[in-house]
Chain A
Amino acid sequence: MKAVLAGFRGFVGYVGGVLGADAYKKYLEHHEASGHTSPPLTEREFWRDRTDRQDTNPQGRCC
């Protein structure tokens, strides 16, 4: 049962990674590691900034 649960968690984590659901977590890690003194963006600000930057920097999708 534990193994099944762990496997399921791993799968959810993987799909989340592919979708980019962990982007904020990674941003925080980067922010902390690079030793910035300013406070990081809040989760809401981060996601706003992320999609707004796509407005000016579009990426193609494949056919």
Chain B
Amino acid sequence: MARSKREWTEEYVELVVGQLLRSGVIIASIIVFLGGILYLIRYGADYPQYRIFSGEPSDLRNVHKIIIDVFLRRSRDIIQFGLLLLMMTPVARVVFLLVAFAKQRDRTYVVISVIVLTILLFSLVGRYLYN
């Protein structure tokens, strides 16, 4: 499967980026949809409470807790896990471009990709650093 430098053409990179984005959105949507059905079965008859902002409980804020709770099959966590996959889709796209630029020996764009990735990761896990 290893591709030589010549095979990492612009067309190949464009194709993979397109497929990556599409599959990320489709998989995330399916998970959110399934979680949504479970959620409506469980909470459908309750009353929504969005007028007053209280913030989500900590198990819906932290990446590792969302992932653990998916295995406990809690509907709200399944939705949140799907949303997390969706948020990671653009991040995965930047990671792939980083690899592609490295294979193309394009040093400037490797650096640019690393900068963007650092900012994205700071946003997703930065909470642990600044709080």
Question: A and B, one complex?
Answer: no
**Which residue numbers of B lie inside 8 Å of A, CB to CB?**
none
**Which residue numbers of A lie inside 8 Å of B, CB to CB?**
none
